[in-house]
Amino acid sequence: MNTQRVRWAALGGLMGGLLVLGVEAQENIPRLAPTRPGAPALTPAAPESAKPKTETASPTQVPRTTRFGATDWVEIGVVAKRLGLKVGWTLSSREAVLTDKDTRLELASDRLEAGLNGQRIFLGQAPVSRSGNLYVSKIDFERCLVPLVRPALLGVPKPAPKTIVIDPGHGGPDTGKVNGALGLFEKTYTLDTSLRLKKILEARGWKVVLTRSDDRQLKPGKQDDLQRRAQIAADADADVFVSIHFNSVAEQVEKVSGAEVYRFTPQHQPPVTRALRRLDDEVLNPGNGNDVWNSLLAYSIQRRLLRDLKLDDRGFKHDRLAVLRLVSCPAVLIEGGFLSNTTEARRIGNAAYRQQLAEAIANGLSAYASQLQSLRSGVNTPAG
Ligand SMILES: [Zn+2]
């Protein structure tokens, strides 16, 4: 999916570099919260200028944050309290496990990857350990952990989805990934899986629109093609947008397999593929209007892919993908397996397997719709 993963803005370069130096270099210096040297962070006695901000605008917002570098952070005890979980430590101030009877959330300092009920989830910023405590970024708390762990805190949900736009990745001269030895093209299987998914969803009562229903490119030029796909979602007044792809790696091809589901990266966070923030991460894109729902949707689908197909868990991820950037409804991109892996490529080439894959995706969409229904009824059920 190399060409697919075109980030829309090419603002990296010098400006991005300056921001990285100006912001991230600061963040990498271990220091206490914005208090005078030696003062404990987040104490009520902290001087006025150092007091954490108080925000009450939304139920998803946390009552107390503190700033290190260019990021607002939430102390792990506050995170746990808001999510209704208890904190246990597996490594003092560095690794925490937040639990209740249905939930196990594992967070570690300096690690983007977290665990939720055995599922791999990738945060936007790695938690940090400071002054004997662990901090999660406010954006990850609000836009990732709340929707996944305690969606009832999101308040009034989106209306029940009625129209789903399915986007079969690539097409026409854009073949997508290729397994030369087996003669498999990504564009063929994205379309076939999408057609199967369309049938299943229609049988469940949804209106379905495909961005393409045959082997074609929508517009000459990758960027125009991807924008056209987002435009089709807008024209259809879609409630959900699902882009279907298959994956590939260049090295260790037989070791890498499994599914991953992408949401659009929230504003002010670097995509999962890059450690440091840069200038284009600061832009608010249309795709960011649904950050919390993107999270819930991506997690629900990844969960069903893992449960139904027993695929290797490559994770709930995020990236600033061009095809998701302009979509104004909840949207995800699914990587349904690796064409570069011989075993997995053979499965993808098998029609019965693609039917199972389409059913698993449909089950993820149904789970997401049920979640919204539960939220409207005031019932808080775990995502999935
Ligand atoms: Zn692709």
Q: Which of 34-48, 76-90, 151-165 has the highest mean pLDDT?
A: 76-90
Average pLDDT over the chain reads 86
Q: How far is the CA of 231 from the centre of ligand 1 (A)?
A: 19
What is the residue whose two structure tokens read 């994956």? 247
Between CA 363 and CA 204 the distance in angstroms is 10
Q: How far is the CA of 337 from the centre of ligand 1 (A)?
A: 11
> 383 pLDDT band (50/70/90 cuts)?
low
Give the domain extent around 87. Answer: 60-154
Q: How far is the CA of 245 from the centre of ligand 1 (A)?
A: 4
Q: How far is the CA of 174 from the centre of ligand 1 (A)?
A: 9
Q: How far is the CA of 244 from the centre of ligand 1 (A)?
A: 7
Percent of the chain with pLDDT over 70: 82
Percent of the chain with pLDDT over 90: 77
Nearest to 66 by CA among 33, 35, 98: 33
Q: Which of 154, 184, 203 is the last residue of a domain?
A: 154
Residues 6+ apart with CB under 8 A from 357: 193, 196, 305, 309, 336, 337
> 37 pLDDT band (50/70/90 cuts)?
very low
Question: 73 and 134 share a domain?
Answer: yes
Tokens of 363: 């089950």
Question: 171 and 274 share a domain?
Answer: yes
Q: Is residue 91 part of a domain?
A: yes
Q: Is residue 214 part of a domain?
A: yes
Comparing 28 with 200, which gets the higher pLDDT?
Answer: 200
Q: What is the pLDDT of residue 237?
A: 97
Q: How far is the CA of 186 from the centre of ligand 1 (A)?
A: 7
Q: Is residue 54 part of a domain?
A: no
Q: What is the pLDDT of residue 61?
A: 59
Q: How far is the CA of 54 from the centre of ligand 1 (A)?
A: 43
Question: 229 and 370 share a domain?
Answer: yes
Question: 80 and 212 share a domain?
Answer: no
pLDDT over 50 (residue 291): yes
**Which residues are 100's β-sheet partners?**
103
- Domain holding 201: CATH number? 3.40.630.40
Query: What mean pLDDT comes out for the span 180-204?
Result: 98
Comparing 4 with 102, which gets the higher pLDDT?
Answer: 102
Q: How far is the CA of 171 from the centre of ligand 1 (A)?
A: 10
> 41 pLDDT band (50/70/90 cuts)?
very low
> 158 pLDDT band (50/70/90 cuts)?
confident
Comparing 55 with 178, which gets the higher pLDDT?
Answer: 178
pLDDT over 80 (residue 174): yes
Q: How far is the CA of 63 from the centre of ligand 1 (A)?
A: 41
Which of 5-14, 116-125, 345-354 shows the lowest per-residue confidence on average (mean pLDDT)? Answer: 5-14
pTM of the model as a whole = 0.84
Question: 317 and 338 share a domain?
Answer: yes
Q: How far is the CA of 41 from the centre of ligand 1 (A)?
A: 46
Question: 220 and 368 share a domain?
Answer: yes
- For the chain, what is the domain count? 2
Q: What is the pLDDT of residue 212?
A: 98
Each residue's pLDDT tens digit, 63-117? 689 998 889 999 999 999 999 999 999 999 999 999 999 999 999 999 999 999 9
pLDDT over 50 (residue 54): no
Q: How far is the CA of 335 from the centre of ligand 1 (A)?
A: 8
Q: How far is the CA of 359 from the centre of ligand 1 (A)?
A: 20
Q: How far is the CA of 278 from the centre of ligand 1 (A)?
A: 25
Question: 220 and 115 share a domain?
Answer: no
Q: How far is the CA of 324 from the centre of ligand 1 (A)?
A: 13
Question: 228 and 144 share a domain?
Answer: no
Q: How far is the CA of 116 from the centre of ligand 1 (A)?
A: 27
Q: Is residue 74 part of a domain?
A: yes
Between CA 206 and CA 184 the distance in angstroms is 31
Question: 196 and 317 share a domain?
Answer: yes
Q: Which of 109, 135, 154 is the last residue of a domain?
A: 154
pLDDT over 70 (residue 381): no
Q: How far is the CA of 181 from the centre of ligand 1 (A)?
A: 18
Pairing mode, if any, of strands 86-91 and 95-100? antiparallel
Q: How far is the CA of 334 from the centre of ligand 1 (A)?
A: 9
C-beta separation of 2 from 260 below 8 A: no
Q: Is residue 6 part of a domain?
A: no
Question: 336 and 362 share a domain?
Answer: yes
Q: Is residue 27 part of a domain?
A: no
Task: Give the distance from CA 57 to its chain's centroid.
Answer: 24
Q: How far is the CA of 200 from the centre of ligand 1 (A)?
A: 22
pLDDT over 60 (residue 26): no
Q: What is the pLDDT of residue 60?
A: 56
Q: Is residue 311 part of a domain?
A: yes
Q: What is the pLDDT of residue 29?
A: 28
Question: 238 and 295 share a domain?
Answer: yes
Question: 188 and 133 share a domain?
Answer: no
Each residue's pLDDT tens digit, 217-256? 999 999 999 999 999 999 999 999 999 999 999 999 999 9
Task: Give the distance from CA 313 to its chain's centroid.
Answer: 14
- Domain holding 131: CATH number? 3.30.457.10
pLDDT over 70 (residue 33): no
3 state SS for the chain: CCCCCCCCCCCCHHHHHHHHHHHHHHHCCCCCCCCCCCCCCCCCCCCHHHCCECCCCCCCCCCCEEEECCEEEEEHHHHHHHHCCEEEEEECCCEEEEEECCEEEEEECCCCEEEECCEEEECCCCCEEECCEEEEEHHHHHHHHHHHHCHHHHCCCCCCCCEEEEEECCECCECCCEECCCCEEHHHHHHHHHHHHHHHHHHCCCEEEECCCCCCCCCCCHHHHHHHHHHHHHHCCCCEEEEEEEECCCCCCCCCCCEEEEEECCCCCCCCCCCCCCHHHHCCCHHHHHHHHHHHHHHHHHHHHHHHHCCCEEEEEEECCHHHHCCCCCEEEEEEEECCCHHHHHHHCCHHHHHHHHHHHHHHHHHHHHHHHHHHCCCCCCCC
Q: Which of 122, 154, 186 is the last residue of a domain?
A: 154
pLDDT over 70 (residue 382): no
Q: Is residue 129 part of a domain?
A: yes
Angle, helices 291-309 vs 351-376, to 10°: value is 140
Q: How far is the CA of 247 from the centre of ligand 1 (A)?
A: 6
Q: How far is the CA of 114 from the centre of ligand 1 (A)?
A: 26
